[in-house]
Each structure stands twice: as structure tokens, then as C-alpha cells.
A and B are shown apart, each in its own frame.
Chain A
């Protein structure tokens, strides 16, 4: 039930990193969805598309991997592993 808030934070972070690196647009993001994050890759993408609309991250490719490790320290969260940006 906290998906929207999590995604908002993630979009804000992606845009912040992109801006710091003078990106023209975000090409791809790679995220690891914790086993207890309540996200599936499809569910994540649905929220992402909605939250990123109208930003330079709109339409970027999403690589979302769902972890099955319940004991991982980040099992309840979503880790943004890397971002690919276009500079021109």
C-alpha cells in the first residue's frame, strides 16, 4: 500500500541523478525488487509509467529483477542499482 510513495521517491532520485549528470533523458533503470516489497516487475512497471509520465524518465526501459531472498537486508525495499542516461 506504500507503492506510490516508494515510486515517487525512486522517480525523484532518478531525476536528481540524471540532472546532476546533465542527462537529456533517462534511457534505462535497473532495480532489484525485495522479496517482501509487495512488488512484482509488472506491478512496478505499472506504477513507474504513471509516476514518470511527463519527466525525462518517461518511456525509459525498466529492468526489474524480483529477489526471492527473504533474509536479504533490503528484502522489504526496492534497490535502484543503476541508471543509464542519454547525454545528447
Chain B
């Protein structure tokens, strides 16, 4: 052996490769293993919350996501208000729903046009779409801006809003401030109706799964900013406080993200497909009309058609925002005083990508003793793997490159938190 070495000049700039990997192990025509590995490192928010004052939870948890901070704030607030035994006035509830509609509009517009559409249209990203069809990207950006503007007017700023608090808002907007958004929202409604028609022209793979759909039950309205019960199409019907008696989170070896499943039956699905299937009859006439107009059935089992269902929910969010503004009367007090009370409770909301559940325990001084946060992507991850298993089984004759693209598209059906990385997936296929 000699000591011959050589130095190679590289000057290579390392880039973020992505936070997801996938292993598919095939033996002949049989799938032996499908593993979706999310190796985004843990972020320890639940640990940060311990020892903090209960009113800090909405602001701390908002930082978990820049796309859906309102979902985190609202779930935290619902939980804290439940522990402390307070109920806010209807106008405060309406303002929360309006703020949340803003988040649905910006998040759904982002996902439909900027993240999911490129997969269907054969572009690597929205930037490339902009070169050929700038009007598509301009539409998406204007829609997103309208959603963000609602968050600014109601929440104080568009990312990580600062105007929300346990007990209400620091300041309630005036009727005139809200009414100033109506012309833009009317445009957004028309555009989302067109979006449904446009999404229906996309080419969907012929693929269906038999899902257990789960979502909040918001007592007579389409679930957005909360709900007292968590229900499914297979008989699950529990008070939200019993969430963790039925949904268990497991740390699997191949992923940093915890995986949630139902104790009774295993994987389940939360998000637009689930909300739509469970609460179709509670959609507005405009949203239902848009769905019927493109022949969308009341239950959609093809996950690739989630882009269509998300478009229907975009219509719903615009209709709701306009209704809430029309009916709004500025409350005399923007919040109620909330005194801490020792106890524990769950609070949930419907994030754009599915049910988000928080559970806190606080002491009589209002100090957080324990916190558990279960985001929708964690609940959906076993179902994503099940979809991939079914999908790969049907399309295993494709080349590795094509299969990778299709699998990325299949994962993006769920609008998971990792989808903003355009090419996030390292696919490893072992064919035996």
C-alpha cells in the first residue's frame, strides 16, 4: 500500500437536498416495502412551551408554520379557552373565522397554483409556468395576496399574525376596514369559481383509495376555525378532548415526524378530501354549485383530485369571508379577560391541510405544564405511505424517473408541510 493521495478542487455549493426520502422495495411484481422518510429535524416546540405563560401559546405556536400560523394560533386559543372555561362573543368567533378564511385563501391558492399545478402541467415549478403562462401565476399571486390582506387587516400582519389572543383580539377592525376588502374578495370568488373549472381540465391518474375520512364537527357549519367533536365516515365520533384516546402518535424508525393513526383501525385521512366528503351538505350554494358544475361527486376517493376539492374550498372561503364581512358588527370589546385555571384540554382547528390538534395542561398560575401538538401531516403520513403502496403497485412499470415524479405528485396531493421544496424526494427503488 502506498500513501498516494490527490487533492481535487471542487468549489461546490452544497444545497438543501430536501427533507424527504422514499424507499420502494420491489420483488418481482410484489411490493415488499414502501417507506416515506421525513428527516426534517425535530423542532421541539412542545418542549419550548413548557414553563411559558398560557397566553403565550398562540404566539409561540404560530411560528411553527409561515403558511398556516392562524391554524396553530386558533387551536392553541381553543384549547386555553376550554381549560379556563370561557366562551367568546359571536362577533369574536366570526372574526376568527374570517381571519381563518384569509389563511385558507392564501394557502389553498399557493398549493393549487404554485405547488401542485406544476406536477399536472409538466413543469418543474411555478417559475417555469410563469414563462409560458404568466397569467396563471399572476392569478395565483393576486388570490394569495387577497388572503394575506385579510390576515393583515384582522390579524395585524400577514405572516404570524400578532393581533390574536386568548379571549379575543387586541383590537377589532372597523366595519369600514373590512368592507374595503369586498371588491377584491368578489374578484377572488369569481376567480375561484374559474379555478374549479380550470382544475377540472387537468389530467388525473385513474386511481382511488378507500379512505377513513376524519374532520372536525363544527355543529352545523363547514368546519374551519374549530369544532367540539372529531368524526369520521367509519363511526368515529368523539369529543375533541378524547382525541388522544383514539389517535396515537408513533415514532417510526425511518422518519423524524411522528406518525398518527387511529387505535381502532390504523391510517386515516384529514384535509380537504375528508372535510368535503363529511360535510358536503354544509358547503355554500356557490361551492356546491361549482362542484356539481364539473361533475365532482359528493365523495372523492381519487387523491389526485384533491386539487379540485381544494379549489371548491377556495370558493367556500371566499363566500364565507364575504358573508362574515356583510354580517359583521364591530364588538364593543375586542376581547374578554381570561383568568388561568388549572386543568387540561384539547383544542383543534381545520388547518388548510387538515385537522390540527393541540392539548395543554396548565397550573392555576397559568404556567404550561405539558403540551402536545399533532399537525395534519403527522396524521396523514401513514395514509400517504398507504397511497404510495397502492399507487406504486399500479404503476410499477414506469421508469424510475417517471415513478419519482408521480410519487412526488402523490405526496403533494396531501399538501404536506414538506411540499414547498419543489424536488424534495430522493427515491430509492430496489427491484429484486
Contact A79 B7 (CB under 8 A): no
A44 CB → nearest B CB, Å:
10
Query: Could you list 28 examples of A-B contacts with CB < 8 Å?
Result: A1-B40, A3-B41, A4-B41, A5-B16, A5-B17, A5-B18, A5-B19, A6-B14, A6-B16, A7-B14, A8-B17, A9-B14, A10-B14, A13-B14, A21-B6, A21-B8, A28-B7, A77-B14, A78-B13, A80-B10, A82-B7, A84-B6, A85-B7, A86-B3, A86-B4, A87-B4, A87-B6, A88-B2
- B251 on interface, CB distance cutoff 8 Å: no
From A9, A77, A81, A85, contact of B17 by CB (8 A): A9
Residue ranges of B at the interface with A (Cβ–Cβ < 8 Å): 1-19, 39-41, 43
- A17 on interface, CB distance cutoff 8 Å: yes
Contact A6 B15 (CB under 8 A): yes
From A6, A8, A77, A85, contact of B5 by CB (8 A): A85
Interface SS majority for chain A: mixed
Asked, given contacts A1-B41, A88-B2, whether A83 binds B7 with beta carbons under 8 Å apart, the answer is yes
Q: Give me 19 other A-B pairs in contact (C-beta within 8 A), A5-B19, A83-B7, A86-B4 excluded.
A: A1-B40, A1-B41, A2-B16, A2-B19, A4-B41, A5-B39, A6-B15, A10-B14, A21-B6, A21-B8, A74-B13, A79-B14, A80-B13, A81-B9, A82-B10, A85-B7, A86-B5, A87-B5, A88-B1
A85 to B7, CA, bound (A): 6
A87, closest chain B residue (CB)? B4
Which chain A positions have C-beta within 8 A of B6? 21, 84-85, 87
A19 to B327, CA, bound (A): 68
Which chain A positions have C-beta within 8 A of B10? 13, 17, 80-83
Which chain A residues (15-51) contact chain B, with CB distance < 8 Å? 17, 21, 27-28
Contact A80 B11 (CB under 8 A): yes
A6 to B40, CA, bound (A): 11
A8 CB → nearest B CB, Å:
5
**Which 10 residue pairs spanning A and B have beta carbons closest together?**
A9-B17, A78-B14, A10-B14, A80-B12, A2-B16, A84-B7, A5-B16, A88-B2, A87-B4, A5-B17
- A12 on interface, CB distance cutoff 8 Å: yes
Q: Chain A contact residues (Cβ within 8 angstroms of B): what range?
A: 20 to 34
Contact B8 A17 (CB under 8 A): yes
A4 to B38, CA, bound (A): 11
A6 to B10, CA, bound (A): 16
Which chain B positions have C-beta within 8 A of A8? 17
A81, closest chain B residue (CB)? B11
Chain A 65-83 interface mask (CB, 8 Å, partner B; 1/0): 0000000001001111111
B19, closest chain A residue (CB)? A5
Which chain A positions have C-beta within 8 A of B4? 86-88
Which chain B positions have C-beta within 8 A of A7? 14
Contact A85 B19 (CB under 8 A): no
Which chain A positions have C-beta within 8 A of B2? 88
A4 to B42, CA, bound (A): 11
Asked, given contacts A85-B8, A88-B4, whether A1 binds B13 with beta carbons under 8 Å apart, the answer is no
Which chain A positions have C-beta within 8 A of B39? 4-5
A88 CB → nearest B CB, Å:
5
B13, closest chain A residue (CB)? A77
A24 to B19, CA, bound (A): 30
A8 to B13, CA, bound (A): 13
Which chain A positions have C-beta within 8 A of B18? 5
A28 to B2, CA, bound (A): 17
A5 to B10, CA, bound (A): 19
A36 to B33, CA, bound (A): 39
Contact A27 B9 (CB under 8 A): no
A88 to B2, CA, bound (A): 6
